[in-house]
Amino acid sequence: MIIENRIEGSKKTVLISGRLDSVSSPELENHLNELFSGTELLVLDLKNLEYISSAGLRVILGVNKKMTGNRRCVIINVCDAVMEIFEVTGFADILTIE
């Protein structure tokens, strides 16, 4: 998995590439926790994410729950394979996906 950031003030975009699974999800979780302070809009760009496991889903759900009040989490550029997982698990109904 490769993680890249684009920071524009309180808007932080995180590009995630490769596989988000039980091996790589702790790295993403730590990374997102470090970015959390001062973030009003967190954009997760999944354009190059090829696979997501239940461990990856847990990380995304966790960060989504932390973004409360005036804070928002938006997921963009979801490929068909990952979108299918979001739909089957019901995450498509919980997450903001654009």
Looking at the structure of the chain, the number of domains it has is 1
pLDDT tens, position by position, 42-76: 999 999 999 999 999 999 999 999 998 899 999 99
Looking at residue 68, what is its pLDDT?
Answer: 86
**Average pLDDT rounded to a whole number, residues 70-84:** 95
Averaged pLDDT of the chain: 95
CB atoms within 10 A of CB 49: 23
Looking at residue 91, what is its pLDDT?
Answer: 95
CATH of the domain at 36: 3.30.750.24
Q: Supply the range of the domain harboring residue 7.
A: 2-94
Q: Where are the alpha helices (DSSP H) in 25-73?
A: 25-35, 54-66
